[in-house]
Structure 1
Amino acid sequence: MSQNFKLRTVNVTRYILPLREGGSLPALADADDGFKYVLKFRGSGQREKALISEFLGGEIARSLSLKVPELVFANLDPAFGRSEGDEEIQDLLKGSQGLNLALHFLSGAINYDPLAMQIDPLLASKIVWLDLLITNVDRTFRNTNMLMWNRELWLIDHGAAFLFQHSWTNWEKNAKGPFPIIKNHVLLPQASLLEEANEVLKPKLNKELFEELVSALPDEWLLAGGDSEDVTEIRKVYSEFLSLRLTYADQFTKEAQDARTTLI
């Protein structure tokens, strides 16, 4: 990853339709670069914190060579959506003016079906490891947040990761602590190579990478949560959480192995 990492920025030109599968009501939209995107709104659900999680989770996954659709900043003009007939959607658009986040739309992709689709055990183990690192609660049988596209598995929707940001003062405890929710992970039964995944993935990440990613987050997203008025302090917490969490990789890998033994 370059030392001047940043996302492309596109302008949303057309709201096509809501994707009501997600609780945050994402949408399919056109942008001025000619591509379609799944648009995640800053005015929905957990607001900007969900976008921060989406950004960090997705780009960390990409750094680990896992498949993630391209992420872009998506600018929503204040005039956008005034003609929208659905009041709920109109309110969402009004509350999402400015920079949002979008994922490149994978046309023709299908949802991963854990009952019908087997994947490589090392890949499964890598994805479980990623979700342990970022404390992602939302990759379950109920909602896998994975797509099959061109015969490859793609990861989407990391907006429910980084639980610590919803209880800001306990971030160190969250970085060091167990993550028992991993027992519900959809890929845990297939993740038979967790130790190997840990050995492969841990060296790919470091403090410098985390700082680089965090530095690319928009100030307005970071300040919106009201956790601090000092954007430098907020960035430091995110990067230090990830750096500290990484030092506990051996422990959380063993935690997942122990959880897996109860399933098999």
Structure 2
Amino acid sequence: MSGINNHPYPLRTVQVTRYVTPLREGGSLPALTEADDGFLYVLKFRGAGQGVKALIAELIGGETARALGLKVPEIVFATLDQDYGRNEGDEEIQDLLKSSVGLNLALHYLSGAITYDPVVTTIDENLASKIVWLDCLLTNVDRTVRNTNMLMWHQELWLIDHGASLYFHHSWDNWEEQATRPFAKIKDHVLLPQATQIAAVDSAFRAILTPERIRAIVDLVPEEWLTGHEDISPAERREVYAQFLIRRVASSEIFVKEAVYARSTLI
């Protein structure tokens, strides 16, 4: 079954065969597509918005969440050929497809899933604490009441859309400093009010996210997504991602303290 929570590395690669419909969320214009394996996927285009950086954040963020036992739709690499979307009538979408030829990223489509609504569904304190810890680690600014980026599917909570994570990579100048900073924006996290066990979660998650596990996740990033930077090689750029996360885990007490403080101001 596709869409399950765990899968062996490496990630699968599918060929996109049909553009079903755009999902006009924010400025990234993801789309519901069908692939050659017969499944539907939410496709994230390399030619949209922040380009491959959003795909890198999506990949690292999603697979880190999966490594921690959280539910994430299966992530696959999705290839677009030059003929794909040639008959698309929408000029904006056609331009997006043309600029996204090659390797993109996609998440298994959870048919029938509904957006998590904190008014309707209460998440238990342990799960809320795990997600808050994850988003502190990833510096994910996009899990708020306005945009929860979580789905309820078969009465379980699934995490989606990690493309706004790792925002240090939009400016590489001081990544070492950013790796050990508290995450002040956690105060806006939709699950912070329920996250009473962040300190307990910290100990368990630090044990899971060893440097070896982090490097295995970062190694999933295709080299072609790391090219095009004259100042640093793809290997060096990959190492920065790994070192950022390794250092952040090692100094997690800093962001845990910030999250606990932020929650105390709510109650």
TM-score (norm 2): 0.95
- Residue deviations 1:162-205, cap 9 Å, x none? 01101112111110112111100000011111111112211110
Task: Give 3-state SS (helix, strand or coil) of 1:168's partner.
Answer: coil
From 174, 197, 212, the equivalent of 1:170 is 174
- Distance (whole Å) between structure 1 residues aligned to residue 23 and residue 137 of structure 2: 28
| CA distance, structure 2, for counterparts of residue 36 and residue 113 of structure 1 | 24
Residues 168 and 227, structure 1, Cα contact 8 Å, conserved in 2: no
Q: Which residue of 2 aligns with 1:57?
A: 61
1:71 alignment counterpart: 75
SS of the equivalent of 1:103 reads strand
Give ranges in structure 1 of 5+ residues lacking alignment: none
More deviation in 226-235 or 27-36?
226-235
Q: Which runs of 4+ in 1 moved over 2 A?
A: 226-229
1:233 to 231, 236, 251: 236
2:198 is the counterpart of 1:194: yes
Say whether residues 1:254 and 2:257 are aligned partners: yes
Contact 2:71 2:158 (C-alpha < 8 Å) held by counterparts: yes
Q: Which residue of 2 aligns with 1:147?
A: 151
Residues 12, 31 of structure 1: 8 Å contact kept:
yes
Distance 1:247 1:115 in 2: 35
DSSP-derived class of the 2:174 partner? helix
Tell me what 1:157 maps to.
161
- Report the CA distance shift for 1:188/1:227 in structure 2 as closer, same or farther (over 3 A): farther
Q: In 1, Cα distance between the equivalents of 2:189 and 2:239?
A: 29
Q: Which residue of 2 aligns with 1:86?
A: 90
- Show the 5 A alignment for 1:86-125: 86-125=90-129
Task: Sort the Cα spacing of 1:115 and 1:85 in 2 relative to 1 into closer, same or farther, 3 A.
Answer: same
CA distance in 2, matches of 1:227, 1:175: 23
- 2: CA distance between counterparts of 1:205 and 1:251? 17
Whole-Å Cα distance in 2 between the matches of residues 196 and 227 of structure 1? Answer: 43
1:152–1:80 CA distance, 2 compared to 1 (3 A): same
- Measured in 2, the distance between the counterparts of 1:178 and 1:33 equals 42
Q: Deviations over 1:41-94 (max 9, x none)?
A: 000010000000000000000000000000000000111111100000000000
**Are the counterparts in 1 of residues 181 and 254 from structure 2 also a CA contact under 8 Å?**
no
2:42 to 20, 38, 43: 38
User: Could you tell me whether the CA contact under 8 Å between 1:5 and 1:213 is conserved in 2?
Assistant: no
**SS of residue in 2 equivalent to 1:245:** helix
Following the alignment from structure 1 to structure 2, what is the Cα–Cα distance between the partners of residues 111 and 178? 29
Distance 2:29 2:40 in 1: 16
Instruction: Calculate the TM-score normalised by the size of structure 1.
Output: 0.96
Conserved 8 A contact 2:132-2:191: yes
In structure 1, the residue matched to 2:3 is none
User: By how many angstroms is 1:14 displaced?
Assistant: 0.1
- Aligned-CA RMSD value: 1.3
What whole-Å deviation, never above 9, does each CA across 1:75-126 have from its counterpart, x for those lacking one?
0011111110000000000000000000000000000001111011000000
Any unmatched runs of 5+ in structure 2? Answer: 1-5
